[in-house]
Amino acid sequence: MEKLIIEEFELKRREEIEEKYLNRWVDGEWSWNEDGSVNAHDVTIYSIDSCKKIPVKFNKIERNFLVSNLGLETLENCPDEVGQSFWCQANNLTSLEYAPKIVGEDFECYGNLGNFTIKDVEKVCKVSGNIIV
């Protein structure tokens, strides 16, 4: 009985996340992983209501992951891997903790409270393209 209640709660939570966030942010297909994270084609987060972090855990993004100008204070819930570009510029970030581990093209993080360097980015992420700080 308890397991059924937990499963129903998770299903309701996922439906709310889909409606409130994923259907607005994701361009193309996306899917849930067993751990509750999301894989997606292309993600652009335009606005987050009173959030200092991304409210959905992403895992792998095929193309771009754009979270600029949102007032984010942490990169928690960012994907582990981004196939093309990762942009997190003009937020309130002081750390690159939780940044993607792999970015297939460019990594842009200028205009944050932390004055990040190329070496700061290279410590947390393998970037195949340009690093713009």
Average pLDDT over residues 117-127: 98
pTM comes to 0.89
- With beta carbons less than 8 A apart as the criterion, state whether 65 and 86 touch: yes
Nearest CA to 67 out of 25, 122, 20 is that of 25
pLDDT per residue over 50-105, tens digit each? 578 898 999 999 999 999 999 999 999 999 999 999 999 999 999 999 999 999 99
54 is written with which tokens?
């991304």
121, 96 in Cβ contact below 8 A? yes
